[in-house]
Amino acid sequence: MKIILEEFPDLNDFQIEQLSKLKKIYSDWNNKINIISRKDIDNIYERHVLHSLVIAKFIKFNKGTTVLDLGTGGGFPGIPLSIIFPDVNFILVDSIRKKIVVVDTIVNELRLKNVKSEWSRAENLDYKYDFLVTRAVAKMPLIIEWSKGKFNKNSNNHIPNGIIALKGGNIDDELKNIQQKKIVDIKDIFDTHYFLDKKIIYVPS
């Protein structure tokens, strides 16, 4: 948790309380079903929470923005982002029902009023949104295909509506035919070894 407070010193007491609960909540759930890898539980604040919150360093979502978290799994990046941005609307989506059950329980426990969830496959979604965020492993061309026609026309943030994906490893192949994109090395934002090969990929809608 210390690493979060160092990077986000302006959090209020309620946000700190919410974030502080995450390790215990996820540890408890992991004993029932495998939400995140066992070896990551001890490093949850760096590998899951901070990794999710790098999006908050890339963009400060304005009040009223709608963000869809595709393939949210156990709620990343959506839950940490919804804590940081209480005035932003988040829709957390996953095709695996038990993961959405976990997300709903965590949302209730943290009293997050700005989150709703959906058990659905990406191609079946019927939402309009400003940004799609994801840590899922789907390739970028597929994510772009799934989100066609789903973005709101008007942008109310300092960058145009679009996809913000957190990726790792070699992604040259999946990006080579995408003309408009911005790639940000996370190691330039958070100086820890874990983020050496991790990137933010932004593709405007």
Angle value at C-alpha 74, between 70 and 79, nearest 5 degrees: 75
Instruction: Give the pLDDT band of residue 31 (cuts 50, 70, 90).
Output: confident
Instruction: Give the pLDDT band of residue 30 (cuts 50, 70, 90).
Output: confident
User: What digits encode the pLDDT tens for the residues 52-107?
Assistant: 999 999 999 999 999 999 999 999 999 999 999 999 999 999 999 999 999 999 99
For residue 176 the two structure tokens come to 């080579």
Phi, psi of 8 (to 5 degrees): -130, 75
Q: Is the pTM of this model over 0.85?
A: yes
Instruction: For tokens 């360093």, name the residue.
Output: 57
Phi, psi of 131 (to 5 degrees): -130, 145
Angle value at C-alpha 141, between 127 and 157, nearest 5 degrees: 50
Instruction: Give the pLDDT band of residue 20 (cuts 50, 70, 90).
Output: very high
Instruction: Give the pLDDT band of residue 33 (cuts 50, 70, 90).
Output: confident
CA dihedral 134, 138, 144, 150 (to 10 degrees): -50
pLDDT at 37: 79
User: What digits encode the pLDDT tens for the residues 133-189?
Assistant: 999 889 999 999 999 999 999 999 999 999 999 999 899 999 999 999 999 999 999
pLDDT at 5: 97
* Domain architecture of the chain: domains with CATH: 2-204 (3.40.50.150)
